[in-house]
Amino acid sequence: MTDVIIVGGGIAGLAAAWELVASGRTPLVLERRARPGGVILTEHVDGFVIDAGPDALLIQKPAAIALCRELGLSDRLVPTLRPRTAFVVKHGRLVPLPEASVLGIPTKMRPFATTPLFSWGAKVRMLMETVIPRGPGGDESIGSFMRRRFGDEMVTWLAEPLLAGIHAGDVERLSMPTLFPRLVLAEQATGSVLRSLRSMQAPPAPDGAFLSLPGGIGEMVEALVARLPDGTVRCDALVSALAHEGQYRVMLASGETLEASAVMLTTPGWATAPLLEPVDGRAADLCREIRSVSSATVVFAVQRARVSHPLTGSGFVVPRPERRTLMAASFVSSKWPGRAPQGFVLLRGFVGGAGDPHVLERSDEEIAEAAWEELSMRLGIQGSPTLTRVYRWAHATPQHEVGHQARIAELDARLAGLPGLFLTGSSYRGSGIPDVIADARLVATRAAAFVEQR
């Protein structure tokens, strides 16, 4: 019998295992796929380092960087290359985001006044933010919050492609206090987001906002698995059912049954729901209600000489009025060092999300062709890519929509009545890697304490 069975070998499951081992427990991670890491996947092809899923660790939230340090990767953390300009497509052109912006919100007058991203009327409306009264508080969508504070153009050209875009979501459905509590607190603190952001303004961090690893984010997964005791992670182990009779019984699709004192489900809401069903139907319903959207990343390698755009920045986002296929694109080899051999660039497009729910019904060839057509048009690229890769992410991006916090509070209350059963992962209390790691480790300490008590 195992102390704690962890279902799902994404970063949540692996970080939970790491914490449990540190607490002296013997966890077993069961992962349905042939490899651990979940949506974290790095491939090395012909000298290119390709992050198929996430590629950046946010410095401001320290849990991911802290884990890298514990894994002995301190010396390998690399900042983004300069310049770190992000572009927004407007009228077919790539317009740089105004300098000194916080989550896209310009905090300095000069770059804001001169940006062609907004009309003069919109700029006046945005400046009026400082005199607009505080909202009532409570849950509301990103669209509602940003429109109320800054007006329509801020939603169209910034909030939708940037803030909702990070989550491949619908700006009118994603929850502002859940995803961007910092801006909500800024409003509550002084009555004005702009005023608060300006007062908090610190000189730009020398390392920028993100770090990565020379071998891609996959390096973190490799280091984690290598440092866990042998046999902790079992791949090709699809968990098909769960039962609770004193102990937890975990049934695998292979027919095998395992027993454990505690179980941590780190799977996405839609995958967790059927496992929870026999244990607590209402908890299963709550997990099922957490929507997830599908997307694909499309990676192209191109000879540098064929690209007319200088690629001086990290990439661009495409607001709805300009959207064809791409939600966004990264200039990977301008963003991170060592991603492409000399004379080549690596580019990555994002397609799908809430605005294109049928994206994965198309073949890889169709997805790549549409993405290439748009990318080559926007960046002025001649000829064809020397390498193309399409990565499909079915239901991989959870949507923390208005009502999410209330749903999670109810879910937590139900779990309190199910001793030994724990839930973590990107569907629940944070969806970026740092939040996922922080929550997984916190929940793992509770699982360790539960086993200890028994």
DSSP helix/strand/coil, 281:
helix
Amino acid residing at 12: A
39 near ligand FAD, judged by CB under 6 A? yes
Query: Quick one: tokens of 418?
Result: 């199910």
State which of residues 175, 267, 325, 399 lies at the interface with ligand FAD (CB under 6 A). Answer: 267
Q: How far is the CB of 227 from ligand FAD (least distance, A)?
A: 17
**Residues in binding contact with ligand FAD, number by CB under 6 A:** 36
433-453 helix and 63-70 helix, angle to the nearest 10 degrees:
70
Tell which one of 89, 176, 220, 436 touches ligand FAD (CB under 6 A): 436
Q: Which parts of 42-81 interact with ligand FAD (CB under 6 A)? A: 53-56, 58
d(C-alpha 174, C-alpha 401), whole Å? 4
DSSP label of 368: H
CA 401 to chain centre: 15
Q: Which is nearer to ligand FAD, 39 or 71 (CB)?
A: 39
Q: Are strands 78-79 and 210-212 parallel, antiparallel or unpaired?
A: antiparallel
> 55 or 153: whose CB is closer to ligand FAD?
55
Only one of the segments 173-181, 262-270, 285-293, 404-412 lies at the binding site for ligand FAD (rule: CB under 6 A); that segment is 262-270
Q: In the range 377-406, which residues lie near ligand FAD by CB under 6 A?
A: 393, 396-397
What distance separates the 2 farthest-apart alpha carbons in the chain? 67
Q: Which is nearer to ligand FAD, 127 or 235 (CB)?
A: 235
Q: Report the C-alpha gap between 434 and 208 in whole angstroms.
A: 16
The residue among 125 and 291 lying less far from ligand FAD, judged by its C-beta, is: 291
Candidate segments 31-39, 144-152, 301-309, 336-344, binder of ligand FAD by CB under 6 A: 31-39
Q: Does 27 bind ligand FAD (CB under 6 A)?
A: no
- Contact between 32 and ligand FAD per CB under 6 A: yes
Does residue 7 touch ligand FAD according to CB under 6 A?
yes
Looking at 3, 4, 9, 49, which residue binds ligand FAD (CB under 6 A)? Answer: 9
The site string for ligand FAD over 215-254 (x = CB under 6 A, - otherwise) reads -----------------------xx---------------
> What's the min distance (Å) between Cβ of 435 and ligand FAD?
8
Smallest distance from the beta carbon of 141 to ligand FAD, in angstroms? Answer: 20
Q: How many CB atoms lie within 10 A of CB 109?
A: 12
**Cα–Cα distance, 340 to 255 (Å, whole number):** 45
Q: Pick the piece of the chain touching ligand FAD (CB under 6 A) from 154-162, 241-249, 402-410, 425-433.
A: 425-433
Q: How far is the CB of 430 from ligand FAD (least distance, A)?
A: 8
Place of tokens 């994206």: 359
Task: Determine the distance from the C-alpha atom of residue 150 to the mean position of all C-alpha atoms in its chain, rounded to a whole number.
Answer: 25
Closest CB 136 distance from ligand FAD, rounded Å: 30
Among positions 5, 17, 28, 30, the unique one binding ligand FAD when judged by CB under 6 A? 30
Q: Toward ligand FAD, which CB reaches closer, 124 or 394? A: 394
Work out whether 268 is an interface residue with ligand FAD (CB under 6 A). yes
Q: Which of the stretches 32-40, 148-156, 173-181, 201-209 binds ligand FAD when contact is defined by CB under 6 A? A: 32-40
CA 387 to chain centre: 25
* C-alpha to C-alpha distance for 216 and 208, rounded to whole angstroms: 18
Nearer to ligand FAD, 290 or 436 (CB): 436
Residues 289-328 that bind ligand FAD (CB under 6 A): 295, 297
Strands (E), 190-288: 210-212, 233-234, 239-245, 247-252, 257-265
Long-range CB contact pairs, 135-140, < 8 A, 24+:
135/187, 137/184, 137/188, 138/177, 139/175, 139/176, 139/177, 139/178, 139/402, 139/403, 139/404, 139/405, 139/406, 140/175, 140/176, 140/177, 140/402
Distance in angstroms (rounded) separating the CA atoms of residues 159 and 161: 6
Answer for the pair 336, 80: CB distance below 8 angstroms, yes or no.
Answer: yes
Residues that bind ligand FAD (CB under 6 A): 7-13, 30-33, 38-40, 53-56, 58, 238-239, 266-268, 271, 295, 297, 393, 396-397, 425-426, 431-433, 436
